[in-house]
Structure 1
Amino acid sequence: MANTYFQFKQFTVHQEHCAMKVCTDACIQGAFTAQYLADNEITVPAILDLGAGTGLLSLMLAQQVDAAITAVELDPGAAHQATQNFDDSPWADRLTLTRLDIRKLDGGVKYDFIISNPPFYEDALKSGQGKKDQAMHATHLTYRDLLAAIDQQLSPSGEVSILLPFDAFEQFRQLALAAGFYLKQVLYIRQSVTHGFFRTVGIFSRRTVNTVIHELSVYDDQRVYTPAFVQLLQPYYLYL
């Protein structure tokens, strides 16, 4: 049975009411995105987290970026859990949770940056567990739906961070390109130096750019965290 909470250095994520628990690849997305914003000195007065789940990504960005963050989550249990995690964090004053289908968001407010760990699989077999399937599969939200929501919510100069399986990412990239979003930076993730890529984090912009490519292995060939992984997650993981 998964732990009911995950303790980070500066915050705790309770997750007993969420179908999808804290996972390494989501932590990598949060850390990589926060580092990208800091390294490029990108000022983001307002951030939107689409499909917040436990609130993990919002909390990771709040730790590193001084910005107001609005998180949107449809599932009532996850929305309640994320709200509690926000309220218990050091950044409760700039974290807001809205329970809503992202397709119904008012487009009147434009955000400077969007982050999303969306439903992963459009065509894969489902587990038969309703909430988990909704969280992992694009059952209620297709990639086109997600891109339409991003297009509506993102400011003209804004950027977006997306985490997807490696095999699905190219399909999403092509759809994003057709919608006017260009891949600015990409992180290909391996479970270890002996594995192939299994996840991809992409940062997209409305501006035509040359893509900067990064690679990351979580473990070395001795099943020890790689130095690159330690450096990336050290601000967050309790025992790094």
Structure 2
Amino acid sequence: MSAPRQIIMVRHGLSAANLDQTIYNRIPDYRIPLTEQGVAQAKVAGEQIRRQLDGQKVCVYVSPYLRAYQTLEALELGDLVDRTMEEPRLREQDWANFQNPEEIAGQKELRNAYGHFFYRFREGESGSDVYDRVSSFLETLHRHWSTPDYAPNTLLVTHGLTMRLFCMRWFHWSVEYFESLNNPGNAEVRSLVSGNGGYTLDVPFEQWTAAEPGTTVMDAPLR
């Protein structure tokens, strides 16, 4: 097999940190759980994904974060899963270790002014750092797809920014276009669907400002 029929991506459901930012002071980011609402959201996403799979097997790659694993569990894909692999390169953007909410809020303001792709958090990563590890993961995917017994579908259980950057790398979107996009909502699904010699994104990401995939810094107004 050279490539799957579809590459399905799902963001984790609503987490405890989505409701209470102070939790970052007490619990490491990777151990923050889903809320009951987040589990319910993931169950709904699972219904959608099962319809898309239509009885076919899927190979799953999951972020090592607890909320991603809990999302995968709540999808209830059962024997449709051919195999599951933990993939650290699909983790959330690193912002800090134990996070001070006030300090992170100040850095978010700086990121909004500087740009989400290039701004690097003081104890963490920039969007471009995540882009680099997603690019490395894609090389691994292509090696996996070359094996003859690979399942006909791929599922990534991951995070909102990582989903956008995966698509940016796949479709060769510009930085300026990436900057115009919003994250998907909790437990939202996006799929790259094969057809006519390539892949298309089934549902576009919402944009907060107008830009085209080929828009570059040369086209952007000065801030």
Larger Rg over CA atoms: 2
Into which bin does the TM-score normalised by the smaller protein fall? 0.3 to 0.5
Query: Which of structures 1 and 2 has the larger relative contact order (alpha carbons within 8 angstroms, sep 6+)?
Result: 2
Between Structure 1 and Structure 2, the one with more helix by share is 2
TM-score scaled by structure 1?
0.40
Between Structure 1 and Structure 2, the one with more strand by share is 1
